[in-house]
Amino acid sequence: MSRYDPVKQVALLACLTHTARMRARDDLAEMLCKRMASHVKRAKAELEEIGARRRATSERLIGTYHQMLERLDPGSETSAAGREAVARAMEAVTSCAGNAGQVQALGEVLSALVVQAHGMQEVRAAVEQACGFAAQLADIEEVAAFHGDAHELLVYRFFEKDRPAL
């Protein structure tokens, strides 16, 4: 460099500095692109895992609701119990017409309530057998949260670690 004029030396150093800065910026941009690509790849992989869990959950929920519908079907034993409870309640109302039948009416009402409670207990047992109300509601919320290819929502979680560096 000593064989060049001082003006040319300054110009060459400026060019060298400019080229080094450009390469550093390009390297930084390339590094950021690669890092973001890896975050997107991990988010898509997690979305696929969520999709697999969602499909399994959907199948389980469908099975549970199938059982509930079977028990709520008008021809099922549960519905017959409901009809019996209504019939007993109607008998209790008609027997209340006379004061003498109040004790019998009270017994009929209590019997109707027991039958109705038994029918509802079968429905609750079906839900509890399939992991309970709270777990099924949580599963439904999880299924509803991630529709389609919404991996962008998951990228942010991986990107948080890089924010201070940027």
**pLDDT at residue 29 in the model:** 92
Is 111 within 8 Å of 104 (Cβ atoms)? no
Degrees, nearest 5: CA angle 5-10-16 = 120
The arithmetic mean of pLDDT across residues 29-39, rounded, is: 91
The pLDDT tens digits of the residues spanning 74-95 come to: 566 766 776 777 777 767 667 6
Nearest by Cα to 156 from 27, 18, 46? 46
**pLDDT at residue 19 in the model:** 96
Find the domain containing 49 and state its range: 6-162
The arithmetic mean of pLDDT across residues 36-60, rounded, is: 86
Angle between helices 6-72 and 152-159 (to 10 degrees): 130
Residue 97 domain-assigned (yes or no)? yes
**Is the pLDDT assigned to residue 10 strictly greater than 60?**
yes
Residue 144 domain-assigned (yes or no)? yes
The arithmetic mean of pLDDT across residues 124-132, rounded, is: 77
Element (DSSP H or E) covering residue 7: helix 6-72
- pLDDT level of residue 109 (50, 70, 90 thresholds): confident
**pLDDT at residue 73 in the model:** 62
98 Cβ contact partners less than 8 Å away, ≥ 6 residues apart: none
DSSP state of 25: H
- pLDDT level of residue 144 (50, 70, 90 thresholds): low
Residue 1 domain-assigned (yes or no)? no
159 Cβ contact partners less than 8 Å away, ≥ 6 residues apart: 36, 39
In angstroms, the Cα distances linking 97 to 92, 105, 109, 144, 165 are 9, 9, 14, 53, 83
The arithmetic mean of pLDDT across residues 6-21, rounded, is: 94
Q: How far is CA 2 from the centre of its chain?
A: 70
**Is the pLDDT assigned to residue 147 strictly greater than 60?**
no
Q: How far is CA 53 from the centre of its chain?
A: 10
Is 36 within 8 Å of 43 (Cβ atoms)? no
**pLDDT at residue 28 in the model:** 92
The pLDDT tens digits of the residues spanning 53-71 come to: 888 888 787 777 777 766 6
Residue 148 domain-assigned (yes or no)? yes
Number of domains into which the chain is organized: 1
Residue 40 domain-assigned (yes or no)? yes
Residue 93 domain-assigned (yes or no)? yes
Residue 74 domain-assigned (yes or no)? yes
Share of the chain above pLDDT 70, in %: 66
**Maximum Cα–Cα distance for the chain, whole Å?**
128
Ordered alpha helix ranges (H), 73-132: 77-95, 102-129
The arithmetic mean of pLDDT across residues 1-19, rounded, is: 91
**Is the pLDDT assigned to residue 105 strictly greater than 80?**
no
